[in-house]
């Protein structure tokens, strides 16, 4: 792998005049490290060849490159990728062993994102209840129900299809409210996501 990375560094130098150092991550950073993404990929998938690309910084910006260096850095990476693509025979040898071992995205997300994904998988395509609600009769006896996990919610009513604006009003739990267009609305309590 070192041979290919050395070739890639030489190609980048020919292309942009920028010298890239190469080596192991600990060699590049000058200290022993553990827990980086390269080590994780190697250990999780038993991938024999892994490498990391350090940013093209000269020591001033660190990993957060300024906007002026982003496009040149991407071009350098594209040059490097052309060299690494020459690993076709090597890649074919290991493709069958590792192509089916990628984790499910559900294993990576946490918190509200995970609950949202689980709701989508369960068939609820609007878990936050932000899609427009189709109005029903909207009478005082049968108001339009607006789902909310809170005791109040801001509602925007598009009173007439030809209007270019919406009417806003606060709905409070247990208190039906009438919009200026004549439709009644009431909060319908739901469990929070």
Average pLDDT rounded to a whole number, residues 32-59: 71
The candidate with the shortest Cα–Cα distance to 146, out of 120, 169, 118, is 169
| Strands ordered across the beta sheet of 177-178 | 144-148, 184-189, 177-178
Q: Give residue 20's region: left, alpha or beta (phi > 0; psi -120 to 50).
A: beta
Percentage of the chain with pLDDT > 90? 21
Tens-digit pLDDT profile for residues 72-110: 888 887 777 777 666 655 555 555 455 555 566 677 778
Characterize 44-71 residue by residue with b for buried, 16 or more Cβ atoms within 10 angstroms of its Cβ, and e for exposed. Answer: eeeeeebbeeeebeeeeeeeeeeeebee
List all residues 6 or more positions away from 190 whose beta carbon is below 8 Å from its beta carbon: 129, 147, 148, 149
Q: Which two tokens stand for residue 106?
A: 């559900």
Residue 155: per-residue pLDDT = 92
What is the value of pTM for the model shown? 0.44
Residue 81: per-residue pLDDT = 74
Residue 58: per-residue pLDDT = 66
DSSP letter string over 17-81? S-----S-HHHHHTS---S-HHHHHHHHH--S-------S--SSSTTS--HHHHHHHHHHHHHHH
Q: Which two tokens stand for residue 42?
A: 């190697």
More confident residue, 3 or 132: 132
Q: Which two tokens stand for residue 62?
A: 């660190």
Does the CA dihedral 101-104-105-110 come out positive or negative? negative
Tens-digit pLDDT profile for residues 106-131: 777 788 888 888 888 888 888 888 88
Residue 149 has pLDDT above 70, yes or no: yes
In eight-state DSSP terms, residue 105 is G
pLDDT confidence bin for 185, thresholds 50/70/90:
very high
């Amino acid at each position: 792998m070192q041979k290919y990375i050395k070739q890639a560094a030489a190609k980048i130098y020919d292309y942009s005049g920028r010298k890239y150092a190469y080596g192991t991550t600990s060699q590049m950073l000058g200290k022993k490290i553990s827990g980086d993404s390269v080590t994780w990929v190697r250990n999780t998938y038993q991938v024999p060849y892994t490498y990391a690309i350090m940013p093209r910084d000269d020591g001033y910006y660190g990993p957060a490159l300024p906007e002026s260096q982003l496009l040149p850095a991407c071009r350098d990476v594209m040059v490097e990728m052309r060299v690494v693509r020459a690993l076709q025979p090597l890649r074919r040898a290991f493709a069958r062993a590792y192509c089916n071992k990628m984790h499910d995205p559900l294993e990576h997300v946490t918190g509200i994102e995970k609950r949202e994904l689980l709701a989508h998988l369960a068939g609820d395509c609007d878990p936050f209840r932000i899609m427009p609600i189709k109005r029903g009769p909207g009478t005082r006896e049968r108001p339009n129900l607006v789902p909310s996990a809170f005791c109040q919610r801001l509602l925007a009513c598009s009173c007439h299809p030809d209007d270019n604006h919406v009417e806003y009003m606060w709905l409070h739990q247990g208190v039906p409210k009438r919009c200026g267009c004549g439709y009644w609305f009431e909060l319908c309590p739901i469990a929070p996501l």
